């Protein structure tokens, strides 16, 4: 089994690249989806997050977490590390179980964990290969605004989203530093076709490595 960590900055296109890898035979798990599941009402992570961040992050009717409100507090009050300390250990434990399950089913599998903070959390050593997805800072901001604020919301709302994007980017390691530890770099700043070509070449190498058992990092 070849363990691959797929990461990159906010709105760089990690999910897009992950799906391309999955379409070419990789097995994929997304940290955001795992975290979402673990933060449902009744789960221990949910209880701990509410205890730390207060009832204002809880929906008054269905009791689910108001994720936008939680993010506002975590980033706006400089408490993102506090939130990560609660969520990350549980997410990592679930990912480890999943990877072992995939390896038991197929000893030659390429298993991919898509997560934004692999390097920031200091867990790159869990993986045999690290893939970094990149694009320009302006592209990241534009993509974040596009996916979070509808055009009809107006200029004020979109400017607020830009500021939020910049704040989130500031909490992450710059791409220039991430690239230094990468085994593969996927430039997602161009067309989807260009990204596809890069992923195609990378996946051929990863599948070959998994089959031959050559798992050591470069």
Residue 22 has pLDDT above 70, yes or no: yes
Residue 215 has pLDDT above 60, yes or no: no
Q: For 108-156, write each residue's pLDDT tens digit.
A: 999 999 999 999 889 999 999 999 999 999 999 999 999 999 888 889 9
Query: Looking at residues 21-37, what average pLDDT do you find?
Result: 97
pLDDT bin (cut points 50, 70, 90) of residue 217 is very low
Q: For 68-114, write each residue's pLDDT tens digit.
A: 899 989 988 989 999 999 999 999 999 999 999 999 999 999 999 99
Is pTM, for the whole model, over 0.95? no
> Does residue 152 or residue 200 have the better pLDDT?
200
Predicted local confidence at residue 132, as pLDDT: 98
CATH topology of domain 2-212: Rossmann fold (3.40.50)
Query: Looking at residues 48-58, what average pLDDT do you find?
Result: 97
Predicted local confidence at residue 153, as pLDDT: 87
Distance, in Å, from the CA atom of 40 to the CA atom of 160, rounded to the nearest integer, reads 28
């Amino acid at each position: 089994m070849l363990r691959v960590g797929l990461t990159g900055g906010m709105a760089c296109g990690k999910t897009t690249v992950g799906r391309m890898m999955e379409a070419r035979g990789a097995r994929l798990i997304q940290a955001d989806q795992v975290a979402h599941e673990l933060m449902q009402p009744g789960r221990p992570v949910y209880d701990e997050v509410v205890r730390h961040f207060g009832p204002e992050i809880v929906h008054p009717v269905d009791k689910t977490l108001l994720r936008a409100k939680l993010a506002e507090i975590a980033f706006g009050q400089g408490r993102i590390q506090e939130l990560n300390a609660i969520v990350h250990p549980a997410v990592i434990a679930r990912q480890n179980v999943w990877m072992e399950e995939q390896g038991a089913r197929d000893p030659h599998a390429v298993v991919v964990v898509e997560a934004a903070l692999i390097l920031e959390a200091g867990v790159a050593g869990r993986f045999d290969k690290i893939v970094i997805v990149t694009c320009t800072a302006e592209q990241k901001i534009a993509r974040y605004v596009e996916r979070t604020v509808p055009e009809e919301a107006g200029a004020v709302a979109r400017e607020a989203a830009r500021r939020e994007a910049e704040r989130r980017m500031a909490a992450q390691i710059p791409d220039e530093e991430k690239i230094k530890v990468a085994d593969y770099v996927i430039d997602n700043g161009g067309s989807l076709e260009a990204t596809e070509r890069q992923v195609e070449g990378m996946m051929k190498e990863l599948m070959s490595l998994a089959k031959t058992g050559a798992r050591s990092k470069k």
